[in-house]
Amino acid sequence: MEVTLLGTGDTTGTPTPGCSCPTCTAANDRGVERTRFSVHVTNEQTGESVLIDASPDLRYQFLRDELSLPDAVVITHIHFDHLDGLGNAYRLLDSVPVYAANETDPQTDESVAETIERRFDYLDAIDVHPQPPFETVAVCGLRITLVPVEHPPLLCYGLTVESDDAKLAITGDTNFAIPDRSRQQLADADLLLADAIVPARLCSHHPLGGAHKTASGTPRTFGTKHMTTEGALDLASELRAAQTRLVHVSHFPTPEEAFRPEAAVDGEQFSL
């Protein structure tokens, strides 16, 4: 399994347009970036590839990293930075199955799959496959399982991608309170991609502060929607991940925090 991190940033990316903060400046100086979240997974046995989430930066990401267009897509939730790139299927893809959860969200009265069908009903290339959480589906010779996580107010999902000898786990956008059954599915991965938007110290700047604190008082959730760096690393330890990369990282940390060894940048590749 070949994994390429197409996009490792939050909703504005790093560098953020119009921003000259130290972290955006450092990203420019280092020649690195974090575009909006997306992951490309290739099954080297079949030559097929799966796209996990469709970043609005999808066109640029594929040109930059010189990757083959996907044979299938998985969408974790309906926030624009994970979904809107699906419109790039227009004239690029003849036909692509799109896998998404089939649970009805009380906030939208639609499942993720139904939202995709409605929003992209003009794209004949997209073939939506509603998928029950925890039910493994074979996609491009890989086994993919969606798992519920906590990203209020919307339903959101993490997932695992497995071959006969490798396992990739992606938390999706989530706070630290991932359900136990989902944690069991995410556990023991060769590579874990964990949502980690800011260090815990920045919770003091959020109107809701931080949540899911450690015994010593360190918040593992920033506000309600995303894990802190500390929360993501604690989760990785609990899940016994062989290797962890922090993703969905914002430009608010200092350069030292934003580019710590565990923090991913775009274009990183892993052979699992």
Query: What DSSP line would sit under 199-212, residue for residue?
Result: -GGGGGGSTT-EEE
Please write the tens of the pLDDT for every residue from 133-187. Answer: 999 999 999 999 999 999 999 999 999 999 999 999 999 999 999 999 999 999 9
Q: What structural domains does the chain harbor? A: 2-271 (3.60.15.10)
- Strand 72-74 versus strand 96-101 pairing type: parallel
Instruction: Report the candidate in 72, 232, 220, 48 with the shortest Cα–Cα distance to residue 158.
Output: 232
Determine the pLDDT at residue 92: 87
The whole-angstrom separation of Cα 10 and Cα 264 is 12
Q: What is the pTM of this model?
A: 0.97
Q: What is the mean pLDDT of each run of 10 residues along the chain (272 residues)?
A: 98 97 97 98 97 97 95 97 94 92 97 97 96 98 98 97 97 98 98 98 96 97 98 98 98 97 98 98
Determine the pLDDT at residue 90: 86
Determine the pLDDT at residue 157: 98
Residues 6+ apart with CB under 8 A from 21: 251, 252
User: Please, what is the average pLDDT of the chain?
Assistant: 97
The whole-angstrom separation of Cα 134 and Cα 125 is 27
